[in-house]
Amino acid sequence: MTQIDRRAAAALALLGPLAIAAGVRAQPGTAAAPARAAAGKKTVGVILYPDFEVLDVFGPVEMWAYAPDLRIVLIAEAAGSVRSAQGVSALAEFGFANAPAMDIMMVPGGNGTRVQLNNAAYIKFLQDTDKTTTLTTSVCTGSALLAKAGLLKGKRATSNKTYFSLAVQQDSSVDWVKKARWVEDGKYITSSGVSAGTDMALGVLARLYGKPAAAQLARTLEYVWNDDSTNDPFAIA
């Protein structure tokens, strides 16, 4: 067994029983899971676009992939290869037309955010998908896209600190939090810049399976989890 195999086995041994015990029941304070999840895995959809930020996507995916009752799919406006801001590409298995129903939606940030703010098809897809999600999440400037879609009105949220004004410009009714690693408000979970998405993803696992399970997974993967969402070394005034 390779080191990676041993690491995965340890993580699955931890999360497996918790996933079975949790079933489709949400933790206190969370929305109930959609009925469609009762027969199988909950679907996590990551909504790609050209020039997305690699770590925004694959930091969270690395963490969520160890939860045995989560199915992760990559989605873009059109199925196929999607080039990231770093030049490497990811394969979107589904386009908007045939995307599966999602329990959890995640919107990444990246250099392509500004283009998507003016892409009516992308914004409408977020609006339509959000109607049936249990959790709607974002990393970095992905929160600007959620705000543009009108999904964060009256909510607390955060974004990449360097491009914070971009998010604010999309909806001034949002309570934009300048000091936060990630922010939870009901089913909406938004994280700060890039690496904060991995901390947020573990926060989601903590919400689903309990904090000890998320903390153990982080240790198993040799990741130093900033488990305090208010501990933000990159806060702005």
Task: Give me the pLDDT at residue 95, please.
Answer: 98
pLDDT tens for the 237 residues of the chain, in order: 455 446 555 665 666 554 433 333 333 333 333 334 435 799 999 999 999 999 999 999 999 999 999 999 999 999 999 999 999 999 999 999 999 999 999 999 999 999 999 999 999 999 999 999 999 999 999 999 999 999 999 999 999 999 999 999 999 999 999 999 999 999 999 999 999 999 999 999 999 999 999 999 999 999 999 999 999 999 998
Task: Give me the pLDDT at residue 26, please.
Answer: 35
Single-letter residue type at 115: V
Task: Give me the pLDDT at residue 27, please.
Answer: 36
Does 29 fall in a domain?
yes
H helical segments located in 73-210: 113-117, 120-130, 142-148, 164-170, 196-209
Does 227 fall in a domain?
no
Does 76 fall in a domain?
yes
Task: Give me the pLDDT at residue 45, please.
Answer: 98
Question: For the CA atoms of the chain, what is the radius of gyration?
Answer: 17
Does 234 fall in a domain?
no
Task: Give me the pLDDT at residue 16, please.
Answer: 58
Q: Which of 170, 179, 128 is nearest to 152 (CA)?
A: 170
DSSP 171-232: -TTSEE-SS-SEEEETTEEEE-STTHHHHHHHHHHHHHH-HHHHHHHHHHTT------TT--
Q: Where residue 29 sits, what CATH number does that domain have?
A: 3.40.50.880
Does 30 fall in a domain?
yes
Task: Give me the pLDDT at residue 8, please.
Answer: 53
Does 94 fall in a domain?
yes
Does 78 fall in a domain?
yes
Q: How many domains does the chain have?
A: 1
Give the domain range for residue 179.
3-220
Q: Residue 106: exposed, middle, or buried by beta-carbon count in 10 A (0-12, 13-18, 19+)?
A: buried
Q: pTM for the full model?
A: 0.86
Does 42 fall in a domain?
yes
